[in-house]
Chain A
């Protein structure tokens, strides 16, 4: 059973729209959550980290965490074609920094 689940997509949104990426995790001991962006042929790039319930905003990105529902999301406002990539969700438990990654959601932003 996968510990971090993501819809593989593709998620297609028009330029300027809000893209909503979702992730669920099975380990209730998970405490740290991360969103990475990965362009084709490139390595993962850290976008956001979130540790507490609620929202965390950074520019056009907002991460949302709900530990009771074991749910993490990433919102991208004013989506741009350059946001087209695979977005990886990762979770780590309190006593280890071993990241468990989902398989990623492919986002396509069309002009």
Chain B
């Protein structure tokens, strides 16, 4: 079974430029998550989708970040414009469901963003 797929793996941009990350979850997984991980820290949730609905985006900086999950499968996370402090690893994860023992989350390889 294929795991969570993310692209690109690395991205280097100049500040104020836009950037987008793509994620395809494990087949059959209804719940999709975007996390941000800074060096030496654990991942922090940005947004959670149940199928195509964003059900928890309280940590998403909405002035510059946006996300979508059209058709409830793959998802895109966008930053516009990027700031120096956005340099981090952006992780996508998926789970079968969010309830009970189905909430095991599996991570993709991540996108390492560097903003110059």
Contacts and interface: CB of A to CB of B under 8 A. Distances in A.
A49 B41 contact: no
Contact of A44 (B31, B43, B56, B103): B43
A90 B41 CA distance: 12
Contacts of B89: 43
Interface in B79-116: 89, 91, 95, 98-101, 103-110
Contact of B45 (A44, A45, A99, A104): A99
Interface in A23-68: 32, 34, 36, 42-46, 49, 51
Nearest to B108: A43
Contacts of A88: 42-43
Interface residues of A, number: 23
Interface in B53-77: 56
Contact of A102 (B42, B56, B107, B108): B42
Nearest to B91: A43
Contacts of B99: 97
Contact of A98 (B42, B45, B91, B110): B45
Contacts of B101: 32, 49, 51
A93 B91 CA distance: 21
B31 A43 contact: no
A44 B33 CA distance: 14
Contact of A92 (B41, B103, B107, B109): B103
A103 interface: yes
Interface in A57-111: 88, 90, 92, 96-99, 101-104
Contacts of A97: 31, 48, 95, 98-99, 103, 105
Contacts of A46: 104-107
Nearest to B109: A43
Nearest to A97: B98
Interface of A: 4, 8, 32, 34, 36, 42-46, 49, 51, 88, 90, 92, 96-99, 101-104
Given A4-B42, A32-B100, A97-B98, 11 more contacts: A43-B108, A44-B43, A44-B91, A49-B101, A51-B101, A92-B103, A96-B98, A97-B48, A99-B105, A102-B42, A103-B40
